[in-house]
Amino acid sequence: DTGVSQDPRHKITKRGQNVTFRCDPISEHNRLYWYRQTLGQGPEFLTYFQNEAQLEKSRLLSDRFSAERPKGSFSTLEIQRTEQGDSAMYLCASSRADSGNTIYFGEGSWLTVV
* DSSP symbol at 64: T
Does 91 bind other proteins (CB under 8 A)? Our answer is yes
Q: Is 102 exposed, middle or buried (0-12, 13-18, 19+ CB in 10 A)?
A: exposed
* DSSP symbol at 9: S
Does 56 bind other proteins (CB under 8 A)? Our answer is yes
Does 53 bind other proteins (CB under 8 A)? Our answer is no
* Contact string 12-41 vs other proteins (x = CB under 8 A): -------------------x-x-------x
User: For residue 83, which phi and psi values (nearest 5 degrees)?
Assistant: -120, 160
**Considering only residues 71-90, where is the footprint of other proteins by CB under 8 A?**
89
Residue closer to other proteins by CB (options 17, 101) is 101
Residue closer to other proteins by CB (options 27, 102) is 102
Spatial CB neighbours of 58, under 8 Å, sequence gap ≥ 6:
none
Judged by CB under 8 A, the residue of 19, 21, 23, 48 near other proteins is 48
Give the three-class secondary structure for 84.
helix
Total of residues contacting other proteins (CB under 8 A): 29
